[in-house]
């Protein structure tokens, strides 16, 4: 896992940025080594390395022996050993390193841009073909790793994080992107909150000349194609086999690997399978320490004990949140108003004290149907099947009912078309509330979701909802917080569910094998029954139970109110309205998600959105944003099995890179 900055354009003309200085802003992504490829080249590259594979070699920017190709690459290619063998056999490739970066270079030389179809992993990379004077940039199929770009003067800049692009202090906030943030709680791809700054979308690549703007095209579309299941047991075996193989490959590392363990089936399954490769596995779980709050530690620690692995808690309090939330938001690049990123930040911080790589359960809900809202097409069927005139009458009835009256929401959602009522997992500010917050009518969210709905018109309603989340929520929320919160502490977070082979199985599962009655992820749960403790297999979906409601109504109330009062973004949002929502929340009406969304934006604007002379005190008071360093520290053992220190790491046989003779 690493970070890079690329400037592509005429080096004789001003490009609007100092590459080495910009690269230092993402030192947290790669504190192990810094390297540049600068003098006199039309394409200049800078790289920050977090050494995971072939730690003594595989330095970047990397060039081929003849100097014809160079690359910077952020991520991991899990099938690099297999691809390396194939390139040796088919193309006579000769390798000087034992890492995956050189495999990308050799693969590009042999297959050209089609190399992206061969890569099994998470990645964002830029290849420069010196002789052809071309660049090829690509992002992985599911959007696990980020890639931003912008034009400044005669040059195009690309970077692993937006903060490493020049000119952000002059770019200004895009009001339409802000309106979408207010609704979705994130900015949907490919936009960002800054004018003229873009993201490569997941599964996109671009071939372009230095100085020319990239025009990314889609090379991978994760469209479901449900097929009839004639043998359920065979389906379950296929799911189990695909996930086991994915976890095995994700365990390939020359540095310590652990897992982030919650109380749910996804991370527990990853932990159980990872333990098959490394029985000494360490697991990490967030624990909320304020009195009276639910936390997952009790369930997670029982699962760890049953699996025979060590579980290390990461304490989180309201005081911790107030101290760290500005820093958390700085790491996000664009605001993401998902409170679950807070415990993820702290558990990643704890994990980074002991390991360099961690595995998580992200992506399972989107691939296997894990969200309870996917049951809605069945639960609303009594209304959705009614003729149009009847539905119109019920719509009028629902509008006449006072807010909060039981049944109003059922009628509202049942009488609306699926494309209107479901825009994804989050729906924060809509209708009059959104207009009041923005002081204007923002763009319709269906500008984002409409084309995606059109692509899935042939699928059943539940699968269409799942596809929408895969294209929006997972990319804009789940994977952004996973990448930024882990990399904030120089921790590589790997997500085995988001693997091409796992996807190939998940894409074929029909809705009735994903959802049954109140149960979600049915096929996955059955597939994991022999792997995961029984109590976890049948445990209902909880989400990450972050206590932001209690925090905002109690210990964080005054702090939040002060930030909203002092924020300098009143020209963009009605902050008096936001403070009124905060008081309503304190007085017993749940406004937590709306308040949290505004709070996160205010913290973002103070540090990144506002021009430096106008940044409020909260931004100037931040501590230096230095990278976290890995520590060897005492950990708690299983009951009756005390552990004093983390043992010195030696790669387990399946985790080591030397699986292929000759390496």
Contact assessment for residue 524 and residue 532, using Cβ atoms and an 8 Å cutoff: no
Options 2, 7, 569, 602, the catalytic residue: 2
Proportion of the chain in helix, strand, coil states, percent, rounded to 5: 45, 15, 45
**What are the backbone dihedrals phi and psi of residue 638, each rounded to the nearest 5 degrees, phi first?**
-70, 160
Q: Which residue, among 201, 72, 204, 57, has the nearest Cα to 663 in the 3D structure?
A: 57
Residue 110: both structure tokens together = 């042999």
Cα of 82 vs its chain's centroid, Å: 27
Helical (H) or strand (E) element with 15? none
The CA distance from 304 to 97, in Å, is 37
d(CA 565, CA 526): 51
Which residues have C-beta within 8 Å of that of residue 554, sequence separation ≥ 6? 318
Edge to edge, what strands does the sheet with 121-129 contain?
62-63, 69-77, 121-129, 134-139, 204-208, 217-218
CB atoms within 10 A of CB 656: 14
CB 116 within 8 A of CB 206: no
- Cα-Cα-Cα-Cα dihedral sign, residues 311, 312, 316, 317: positive
Q: Is 618 helix (H, G, I), strand (E, B) or coil?
A: helix
CA–CA dist 482, 493 (Å, integer):
7
The answer to whether the Cα torsion of 233, 239, 242, 248 is positive or negative is: negative
Annotated active-site residue 602? The verdict is no
Please check whether residue 277 is in contact with residue 78, taking contact to mean a CB–CB distance below 8 angstroms. no
146 to 116, 223, 344: CA distances (angstroms):
16, 21, 18
Is residue 438 within 8 Å of residue 430, measured between CB atoms? Answer: no
Rounded CA separation 376/365 (Å): 15
> What 3-state class would DSSP assign to 342?
helix
Which single residue is written with the structure tokens 């704890």?
A: 350
Eight-state DSSP code of residue 609: I
List of E strands, 181-248: 197-199, 204-208, 217-218
Chain centroid to CA 488: 13
Nearest-CA neighbor of 284 among 344, 199, 217? 344
Sign of the CA dihedral running 188, 192, 197, 203 = negative
Q: Residues with catalytic annotation?
A: 2
């Amino acid at each position: 896992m690493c970070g890079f900055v690329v400037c592509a354009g005429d080096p004789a003309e001003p490009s609007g940025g100092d590459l080495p200085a910009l690269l230092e802003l993402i030192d947290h992504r790669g504190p192990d080594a810094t390297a540049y490829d600068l003098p006199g080249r039309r394409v200049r590259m800078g790289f920050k390395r977090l050494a995971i594979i072939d730690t003594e070699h595989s330095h970047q920017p990397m060039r081929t022996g003849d100097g014809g190709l160079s690359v910077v690459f952020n991520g991991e290619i899990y099938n690099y050993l297999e691809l390396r063998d194939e390139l040796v056999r088919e193309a006579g490739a000769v390798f000087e390193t034992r890492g995956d970066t050189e495999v990308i270079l050799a693969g590009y030389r042999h297959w050209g841009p089609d190399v992206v179809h061969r890569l099994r992993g998470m990645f964002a990379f830029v290849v420069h073909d010196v002789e052809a004077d071309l660049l090829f940039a690509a992002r992985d199929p599911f959007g696990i790793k980020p890639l931003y770009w912008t034009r400044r003067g005669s040059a195009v800049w690309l970077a692993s994080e937006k903060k490493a692009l020049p000119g952000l202090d002059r770019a200004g906030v895009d009001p339409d992107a802000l309106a979408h943030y207010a609704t979705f709680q994130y900015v949907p791809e490919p936009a960002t909150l800054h004018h003229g700054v873009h993201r490569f979308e997941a599964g996109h690549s671009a071939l372009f000349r230095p100085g020319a703007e990239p025009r990314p095209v889609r090379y991978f579309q994760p469209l479901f194609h449900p097929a009839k299941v004639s043998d359920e047991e065979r389906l379950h075996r296929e799911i189990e086999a695909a996930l086991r193989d994915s976890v095995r490959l994700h365990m390939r590392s020359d540095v310590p690997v652990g897992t982030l363990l919650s109380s749910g089936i996804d991370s527990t399954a990853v932990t159980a399978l990872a333990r098959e490769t490394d029985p000494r596995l360490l697991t990490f779980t967030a624990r909320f320490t304020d009195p009276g709050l639910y936390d997952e530690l009790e369930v997670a620690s029982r699962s760890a004990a049953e699996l025979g692995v060590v579980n290390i808690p990461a304490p989180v309090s309201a005081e911790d949140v107030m101290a760290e939330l500005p820093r958390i938001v700085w790491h996000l690049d664009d605001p993401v108003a998902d409170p679950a990123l807070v415990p993820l930040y702290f558990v990643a911080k704890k994990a980074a004290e002991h390991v360099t790589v961690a595995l998580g359960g992200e992506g399972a809900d989107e691939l296997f149907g894990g969200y309870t809202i996917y049951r809605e097409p069945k639960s609303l069927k009594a209304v959705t099947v009614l003729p149009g005139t009847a539905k119109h009458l019920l719509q009028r009835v629902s509008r006449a009912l006072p807010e909060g009256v039981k049944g109003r929401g059922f009628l509202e959602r049942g009488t609306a078309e699926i494309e209107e009522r479901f825009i994804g997992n989050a729906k924060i500010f809509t209708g009059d509330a959104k207009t009041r917050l923005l002081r204007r009518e923002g763009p319709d969210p269906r500008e984002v979701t409409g084309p995606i709905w059109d692509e899935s018109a042939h699928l059943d309603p539940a699968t269409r909802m799942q596809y929408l989340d895969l294209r929006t929520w997972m990319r804009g929320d789940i994977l952004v917080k996973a990448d930024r919160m882990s990399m904030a502490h120089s921790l590589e977070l790997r997500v085995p569910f988001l693997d091409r082979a796992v996807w190939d199985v998940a894409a074929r599962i029909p809705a009735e094998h994903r959802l049954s009655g109140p149960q979600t992820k049915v096929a996955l749960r059955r597939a994991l029954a022999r792997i995961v403790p029984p109590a976890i297999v049948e445990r209902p979906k909880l989400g990450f139970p972050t206590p932001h409601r209690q925090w905002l109504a109690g210990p964080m109330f005054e702090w939040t109110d002060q930030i909203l009062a002092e924020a300098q973004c009143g020209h963009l949002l009605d902050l008096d309205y936001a403070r009124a929502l905060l008081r309503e929340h304190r007085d017993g009406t749940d406004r937590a998600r709306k308040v949290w969304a505004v709070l996160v934006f205010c913290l973002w604007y103070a540090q990144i959105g506002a021009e430096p002379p106008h940044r409020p005190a909260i931004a100037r008071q931040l501590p230096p944003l230095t990278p976290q360093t890995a520590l060897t520290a005492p950990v708690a053992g299983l009951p009756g099995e005390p552990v004093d220190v983390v043992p010195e790491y030696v790669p387990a046989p399946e985790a080591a890179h030397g699986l292929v003779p000759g390496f």
